[in-house]
Amino acid sequence: MRANPADDTDMQIPTARWQQLLSSAISDPAELIRLLELPVELVESARRAAEQFPLRVPMPFIERMRKGDLQDPLLKQVLPLDAELQPVPGFVTDPLAEMQNNPHDGLIHKYRGRVLLITTSACAINCRYCFRRHFPYQENRLGPDQWQRILDYIAADDSIHEVLFSGGDPLAAPDGRIARMLNELAAIAHLRRVRFHSRLPVVIPQRITDQLIAALTGTRLKPILVLHANHANEIDAVLSEALQPLRQARVPVLNQAVLLKGVNDSVEALKTLSETLFDAGVLPYYLFVLDPVAGSAHFDVSDDQARKLFDQLQRQLPGYLVPKLAREIPGEPSKTLLI
């Protein structure tokens, strides 16, 4: 049997610094609460909510949070809360109906010209608002046979020009595996671009390794990186510095954010996010309204309020710093803009 580039061998002995930071991510609510000098009374409810969807947050992200501040916009994205356990009508486990849309395990083909690959089940951080918090990843692991079927599927459809590496977080996969997958994809003549949707470099900036850049730029396929940061405080000097080699390698870097109540639902927060991204060499791409996933209702911002914020952004920022305000509606041929 040939070597399998998609094999889920992510659990190798962690050698790179980023892998160590990934495997030592904080998962005990009591430890997070102690590190941030927050009231111990929070531990019990955080533990209850973490039973449904575990806490997971690496140290470099925690270091960007303010101590003793429950309103910290980074903390709010990761701290499990009792509110998550309250059922709210309309907030469901599979809002995007993705379970009905897999032509093959590990592959989602919904939009023309693009396919989305579930590269790995791992994520560096568990974002409480995530629409994948109930997603059955175990059924979507890429084994050798699945990877071959995916390659065959893409090769057989010459309308496909771009492969999106998603997850989980595709950059949780080791560089060697990414390089091998890209090499095999590059052999498919009608493919032009590969896109990585990843929050990992935001959470662990050390993830941008020389080997990763070599992998991304090592084939004829044009790479694009789409980061996921929701608040300007996520972009510190370390991240900015880590992104520098991508700029030098001429890899376009974009950002998608989710509009979250209590995190970034103000004109000021969104403006500062766009400006700070730009300073780090990143262009805003999408601002998504929340998918109505069970457990995330406390982050919801109404469409009306979202439009008002967007209108103000358009008045106050140059066009290239205004992300597209959008949502994903199951069955639609693209993301749907809110206008």
Ligand X SMILES: *Cc1c(COP(=O)(O)O)cnc(C)c1O
Based on CB atoms, which residue is closest to ligand SF4, 141 or 161? 141
Count residues near ligand SF4 (CB under 6 A).
10
Report the distance separating Cα 240 and Cα 294, nearest Å. Answer: 34
Q: Calculate the alpha carbon distances from 52 to 18, 82, 84, 308 in Å.
A: 27, 11, 9, 34
| Candidates 125-133, 183-191, 243-251, 284-292; binding stretch for ligand SF4 (CB under 6 A) | 125-133
199 binds ligand SF4 (CB under 6 A): yes
Based on CB atoms, which residue is closest to ligand X, 101 or 272? 101
Contact 285, 226 (CB under 8 A): yes
Residues contributing to the site for ligand X (CB under 6 A) = 108, 110-111, 114, 116, 164, 334-335
The least CB distance from residue 131 to ligand SF4, in Å, is 7
* x-or-dash string of contact with ligand SF4, 3-32, rule CB under 6 A: ------------------------------
Based on CB atoms, which residue is closest to ligand SF4, 54 or 103? 54
172 binds ligand SF4 (CB under 6 A): no
Residue 128 binds which of ligand SF4, ligand X, none (CB < 5-8 A, kind-dependent): none
Contact 95, 293 (CB under 8 A): yes
Out of 36, 46, 123, 173, the residue judged to bind ligand SF4 by CB under 6 A: 123
Based on CB atoms, which residue is closest to ligand SF4, 293 or 309? 293
- Within 10 angstroms of residue 68's Cβ, the number of other Cβ atoms is 10
The least CB distance from residue 122 to ligand SF4, in Å, is 9
Q: Return the residue matching tokens 């790179």.
A: 16
Out of 25, 62, 116, 125, the residue judged to bind ligand SF4 by CB under 6 A: 125
Report the distance separating Cα 229 and Cα 232, nearest Å. Answer: 8
Contact 123, 168 (CB under 8 A): yes
DSSP code, position 84: G
Sign of CA dihedral 12, 15, 19, 20: positive
- Within 10 angstroms of residue 69's Cβ, the number of other Cβ atoms is 14
